[in-house]
A and B are shown apart, each in its own frame.
Chain A
Amino acid sequence: MKKAFIFTLDALFAVSIMAVFFVVYSFEMNVPKETYWLSVMGDTFMTSLDKSEVFYKIYDKTRGDCSVDSTDIPGIQNSLSAQMKNLSNNINGKLIVTIYQGANDIFSLRNTIEVQKGAVSETQETHIKRVFSDPGKSCFGIVELVISYG
């Protein structure tokens, strides 16, 4: 009786461990799905900004060498911040715009403009990139959106 009772306790303990493992495993398995939806949301957000030429309009403020005058940067940041507010309330994000000038197969960094909404969780962040260019001035830009659940 004592032996069986101990055996039963062992088995119960094993079942409990399995149950805990099962719950944690199920939870972990949901993370990629969340990442997927995050990525879909981010792509939709970036596509809407791209199609409405939000990024291309930055080139209206660039000089001949693709640099943005420091006095124009707050205005661009305000405009991008206003767009970031369109992200869902439960999403935090960071938008990083990098502008280069290209010549002789070399790209010289001109400006990096960054805006942020909330704190981005590094463990669950998703990165989405877009490219935009101005052929007339030979300017090349990359916009990177880093988002996570808030």
Chain B
Amino acid sequence: MAKGFAIAITVTMILVIMLLYMQNFSSAQNADLNRIAQLLASEKVIHTWSDVNDDFYKAANLRIERGYMNVTFFDSLPAGFNLGEFLHLYGIFIDSKYETPDVDITYLDEAGKPTDLRLLPAKITIKPYNIVYYYDDWSKHELFVKIPEENYSIFNRTIIHLNFSESLECTCNDDQQTKCAKFDPNPKDCKSGTTYCINITLSISDASGFKCTVLDGAYDFDSQIKWNFHIGGEYLQIPMRMPIIIDMRLQNIHVNTSTTLILNTNDFYISYPAQLSVSAVNYNTSRIDNV
């Protein structure tokens, strides 16, 4: 009898120990499950952000690289399609066909409020100096770079390279004037009375491998310099004068540009036209970053 009870008590104790162990195991597993779910949500947020942003970047065809004291814009002009309309459609497509119920994808304006991509301002600003790289609209037929006169002293130098998609059938003469492009009026060197003396390097290249540096030095931007360019039947004018140091209007000419703005400070940041916010609905996981 006593032996039987001893066995019964032992087995009951084993049962209690197992129950306690299972309770522990269960709570550890639940914590693990939560961690896995959180990890899955985070991974989904990161991949979704990167996926949507890649598409946006491909469509806008604009890459911005910030260096220590400089910013370079790699661009392709004109867009060749209505980018504003495309971005608007893209936003609807993301909402209706791509977004899953567990993820929220939103474009935010500069103030952090949800925005329609059609309303996206076609400009990138270097703040707090308000140096602006902007287009007339997202069709990118016209590109401007504007340096506010009051912040001229912060500006050190600009390097602009234009790579034309077709052959220019041009020669590069010793006086840095090309056969196909002339300055009218000619750039003037800076003098003692010059208010806005801009350090600029302007070079061009084309599909045939032709390369030419047409401006390299410090020039007087108080008065206008105009670069007149003949390509095939097309005529391209690039007027330059403070505060708009570049004003490039393109119709039937396609050009890839790289524009480097070198400043006298590293104390600046780039304000993008929009931010992309991707968040997991059921978890405290999100990524909000410039597009």
Seen from chain A, the residues whose Cβ lies within 8 Å of a Cβ on chain B are 1, 3-5, 7-8, 11-12, 14-15, 18-19, 22, 25-26, 29, 32-33, 35-36, 39-40, 43, 46-47, 50, 56, 98, 100, 102-103, 105, 107, 128-133, 135-136, 138, 140, 142
Contacts and interface: CB of A to CB of B under 8 A. Distances in A.
Contact of A33 (B1, B36, B97): B36
B12 interface: yes
Chain B interface size range: 35 or more
B47 interface: yes
Contact of B18 (A18, A36, A138): A18
Contact of A11 (B15, B59, B97): B15
Contact of A100 (B11, B25, B93): B93
Interface string B76-99: 000111010010111011101110
Contacts of A138: 81, 86, 89
Interface centre among B22, B54, B58, B89 (most CB of A within 10 A): B89
Interface of A is mostly: helix
Interface of B: 1, 4-5, 7-8, 11-12, 14-15, 18-19, 22, 25-26, 29, 32-33, 36-37, 39-40, 43-44, 47, 50-52, 54-55, 58-59, 79-81, 83, 86, 88-90, 92-94, 96-98, 100
Contact of B89 (A43, A105, A130): A105
A42 B89 CA distance: 28
